[in-house]
């Protein structure tokens, strides 16, 4: 009897630990977006995006502080809908993509604010400069994909000053403050 109880206890422990284990996700570039907007001549905004973001997410629902996020985009994937401007943005007046090909974000701490919101602090590396930023990440949902895989989605919006990253060309005609709106969809591995 005691042996059976021990067996049941061991089995339930194994099962519960499996259920609570962190989930690994891979960013789906086809359904993830790194958009930005920046003021133009202080009269309107120019919108752009970085195509094909990559990254990995580890989500630990039991202990969100153990969650981690890493994202990257290639600086030469900048796309503002104007090929001439995009070509210039990749050069040393702006992103200097030859020198700094990758823009990365790596979380350093994650806190759960409420059921659907995480506060993520991490290092944003852009144009050879790394700075810590904190942003609120809203979890949109988790559910099955078209092929039965598990997908999760999240969104965040935050602002940076490009001059903080050494990108000072054409301020203020092209605004210093850049708003980033990032939508991520990731597939469970």
Residues that bind another protein (CB under 8 A): 40-41, 82, 84-85, 87-88, 91-93, 96, 98-100, 127-129, 163, 166-170, 173-174
Q: Backbone phi, then psi, for 74, in 5-degree steps?
A: -85, 130
> What's the Cα-to-Cα distance from 56 to each of 118, 145, 177, rounded to whole Å?
16, 18, 27
What is the closest distance, in whole angstroms, from the C-beta atom of residue 174 to another protein in the complex?
6
The answer to whether the CB of 171 falls within 8 A of the CB of 178 is no
Cα separation, 112 vs 94, whole angstroms: 35
Nearer to another protein, 128 or 145 (CB): 128
Residue closer to another protein (CB basis): 15 or 170: 170
Taking the complex as a whole, the smallest distance from the CB of residue 188 to another protein amounts, in Å, to 34
Whose Cβ is closer to another protein: residue 118's or residue 126's?
126
Q: What is the DSSP letter of 6?
A: H
Choose among 137, 124, 160, 135: nearest CA to 37.
Answer: 160
Smallest separation, CB 133 to another protein (Å): 17
Q: At closest approach, how far in Å is the CB of 175 from another protein?
A: 11
By beta-carbon proximity to another protein, the closer residue of 57 and 97 is 97
Identify the H or E element spanning 18: helix 2-20
Region of 16 please: left (phi>0), alpha (psi -120 to 50) or beta. alpha
C-beta of 49 vs 162, nearer to another protein: 162
Rounded to the nearest whole angstrom, what is the least distance from the CB of residue 130 to another protein in the complex? 10
Give the nearer residue to another protein in terms of CB position, either 168 or 189: 168
Question: What does the alpha-carbon distance between residue 129 and residue 4 come to, in Å, rounded to a whole number?
Answer: 59
Dist. CA 153–CA 145, nearest whole Å: 11
- The least CB distance from residue 169 to another protein, in Å, is 6
């Amino acid at each position: 009897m005691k042996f059976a109880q021990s067996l049941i206890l061991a089995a339930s422990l194994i099962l519960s630990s499996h259920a609570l284990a962190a989930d690994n996700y891979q960013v789906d570039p086809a359904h993830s977006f790194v958009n930005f907007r920046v003021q133009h001549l202080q009269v309107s905004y120019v919108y752009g995006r970085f195509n094909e973001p990559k990254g990995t997410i580890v989500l630990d629902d039991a202990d969100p502080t153990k969650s981690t996020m890493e994202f990257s985009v290639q600086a030469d994937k900048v796309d503002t809908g104007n090929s001439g401007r995009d070509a210039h943005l990749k050069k040393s007046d702006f992103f200097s993509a030859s020198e700094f090909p990758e823009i990365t974000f790596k979380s350093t701490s994650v806190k759960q604010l409420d059921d659907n919101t995480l506060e993520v602090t991490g290092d944003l590396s852009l144009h050879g400069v790394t700075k810590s930023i904190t942003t609120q990440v809203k979890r949109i949902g988790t559910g099955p994909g078209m092929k039965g895989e598990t997908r999760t989605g999240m969104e965040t919006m935050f602002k940076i000053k490009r001059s903080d990253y050494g990108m000072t060309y054409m301020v203020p005609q092209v605004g210093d403050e850049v708003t980033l709106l990032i939508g991520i969809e990731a597939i469970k591995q």
